[in-house]
Structure 1
């Protein structure tokens, strides 16, 4: 059995996530699909103090690119939107897995809800058949209640559940708002897809996760697609028996690690000391490298609370702090805001982890990544207000 160091696990995870340091040619629209096939999902979120989550996750890997390409891929039908770790953009080839009733169906049971609301369901489907592209705002609430994102109207729930069961798909997003249409209009070949069983869907979700993480503990796997632990355990047994997953030993772990055969050459090289090396970049809180707080603490010894849920008085690092990836470590975090009208990329605070040595090389890397991020946001002036190392704020500001 291959034995890996903790350093090797970090490097392998970074490389599997597409964050390794290597020459970066100019990005193309096809590169977005390549990244999506590596990490399997781009989580959607509405916070916009900097570029929204799916666009920022791509920037961390592609550097300068046209964010409009992601929207075009959705409209072209090359990707689709569904619930994975949350609402996500996903590669189209994964679509059959989401019709197998293997995750969200277990806890929301959308088919039962739709069956319990037959008149509403038929009204919405008939409207879309007649009028085509539809938003939830095309329907007025009929229950007399006040609704918001925490308490959506039944018409909005019906649209979402019709998406989950495969009756509808998302044509595009218009100012964040979903635009729905019938699946046969967006993906006419979907009816020709082979049916996928629940077990086969679980197996593929587990394979996708292990490949995307490079090396994975069993405890980490369920979180990636919000699977049940029992379903993951059963899938691991099947996949090991079929030699579709491999076990490795990791120094300091009491349980085995799992690797995908596609990553075996890289794993063997890392075991021999050739560990992939990270680029220096900023990460979205919704980046799959860090969105699992327990895994982030396990792998990087980096405690990463999401503080935009906290009252301002309880925040230690800021409203929307971004982890800083450098030299295969998460060395700190910064709280940014892109002032688009003023052309200013503001860093309200920058916190480095204890023990991080600030030398000329680190300053140069941080300055380069801040300038690149600022230019991509079309906010070219960088201003760093505060830092745990006071001189760093001045060195990194324009």
Structure 2
């Protein structure tokens, strides 16, 4: 009988799939951005920019210093597209067909498709679509509010709601982003070669491909991890995983301490024996976005890393344990802590408000130096080279060489 994988080996396989096993061997080029998104299958979009906005930070964690505009250029060149998958995400254009069925029938998307608003304002929405088709791309900012300033998504101006409806139904797509603002255009101009009659995959083919994408992106999976990645209906996906295993796409494995069946994607099959023997080890130290695929499924992160993470920017200040926008610290295959950071771009200063090391993690000289280098590297990429350290262990402050 084949020996089971250790949890550490399972983590190594997961990080290998995510592009976080070893540091980049060379300076990043534009094609690496597209390759990284394809490897993850999707890149979550979030507008919080206490540090770099999440999609750019997720890429930095894998690529090291790179030009953020490369992501924007891939979107403008239609090599990526935006849609609702895990949440609002950039996705490889070759997966457009996997999302197209949702666009054509968005009723099951909940708040992401305002069906009642659509029904109530159909004439105005159709008029807006005709305007874009005739006059060209628009932004929400092109339309003024009738009074006052919006207080949140529940208080959007009507045109913004109309644009969101047209986006969810696939009539409009995001043609590009300007200063991170969506620029909408009609789908037939963004993807002129797409033809539903010719290109739309059969509905029954979509789920197996989404499950396979998930397995490839995660590297090692269990049935209870599948639903979250693309926000599929919440249920175990045992039958789908066993079908993929029967087709040779997945390799069944056992993991110490897990009662659940586990599977490794075939692309990682050559790494399974080295992982089992302890020879596959992550050598990466970096800071992760709260919306990184490694961390966005909190239960999976807890199972794989023993790491309990909640983003606290939505938590009242007096109830926060760690800070407003904490970045998990990935160090050589483990999540060893978190940093509460803020980039002050105008002052060219990177503020490290606090560094929290996980219970049970020994803060030796090597770990402190690795964390210090990771912080410095991130600060330099932000063009905030002055690092100010607040509440942090003295070993880390010394390693950073705080200004």
Q: How much has 1:147 moved relative to structure 2?
A: 6.4
Residue equivalent to 1:355: 360
Instruction: Find out whether 1:325 has 2:330 as its counterpart.
Output: yes
Partner residue of 2:270 out of 259, 265, 282? 265
Partner residue of 2:282 out of 277, 281, 301? 277
Residue equivalent to 1:168: 172
Partner residue of 2:317 out of 305, 308, 312? 312
Partner residue of 2:209 out of 204, 211, 215? 204
Instruction: Find out whether 1:286 has 2:291 as its counterpart.
Output: yes
Instruction: Tell me if the contact between 1:10 and 1:300 (Cα under 8 Å) persists in the aligned partners.
Output: yes
Query: 1:1-398 residue pairs with structure 2 within 5 A?
Result: 3-101=4-102, 105-108=107-110, 110=113, 114=118, 117-139=121-143, 148-191=152-195, 194-230=199-235, 232-233=237-238, 235-387=240-392, 389-396=393-400, 397-398=402-403
Q: Deviations over 1:137-172 (max 9, x none)?
A: 444678999663234344323322322332221011
Q: Give the whole-Å Cα distance in 1 for the aligned partners of 2:244 and 2:200.
A: 20
Q: Normalising to structure 2: TM-score of the pair?
A: 0.91
Q: Give the whole-Å Cα distance in 1 for the aligned partners of 2:364 and 2:153.
A: 46
Q: Give the whole-Å Cα distance in 2 for the aligned partners of 1:294 and 1:232.
A: 16
Q: Give the whole-Å Cα distance in 2 for the aligned partners of 1:172 and 1:293.
A: 31
Q: Normalising to structure 1: TM-score of the pair?
A: 0.92
**1:115 to 1:267, Cα distance in 2 relative to 1, 3 A:** farther
Instruction: Tell me if the contact between 1:202 and 1:232 (Cα under 8 Å) persists in the aligned partners.
Output: no
- List structure 1 segments (4+ residues) > 4 angstroms apart after TM superposition: 102-105, 109-117, 139-147
Instruction: Tell me if the contact between 2:369 and 2:396 (Cα under 8 Å) persists in the aligned partners.
Output: no
**1:124 to 1:263, Cα distance in 2 relative to 1, 3 A:** same
Instruction: Tell me if the contact between 2:12 and 2:333 (Cα under 8 Å) persists in the aligned partners.
Output: yes
- Considering only aligned residues, what root-mean-square deviation do their CA atoms show, in Å? 2.5
Gaps of 5+ in 1: none
**1:82 to 1:161, Cα distance in 2 relative to 1, 3 A:** same
Q: Give the whole-Å Cα distance in 2 for the aligned partners of 1:111 and 1:234.
A: 33
Q: Give the whole-Å Cα distance in 1 for the aligned partners of 2:332 and 2:363.
A: 13
Q: How much has 1:364 moved relative to structure 2?
A: 1.9
**1:202 to 1:152, Cα distance in 2 relative to 1, 3 A:** farther
**1:147 to 1:374, Cα distance in 2 relative to 1, 3 A:** closer
Q: How much has 1:121 moved relative to structure 2?
A: 2.8
Q: Deviations over 1:178-209 (max 9, x none)?
A: 11001111111111752223331111111111
Instruction: Tell me if the contact between 2:222 and 2:263 (Cα under 8 Å) persists in the aligned partners.
Output: yes
Q: Give the whole-Å Cα distance in 2 for the aligned partners of 1:71 and 1:238.
A: 37
Q: How much has 1:122 moved relative to structure 2?
A: 1.6
Number of residue pairs matched by the alignment: 397
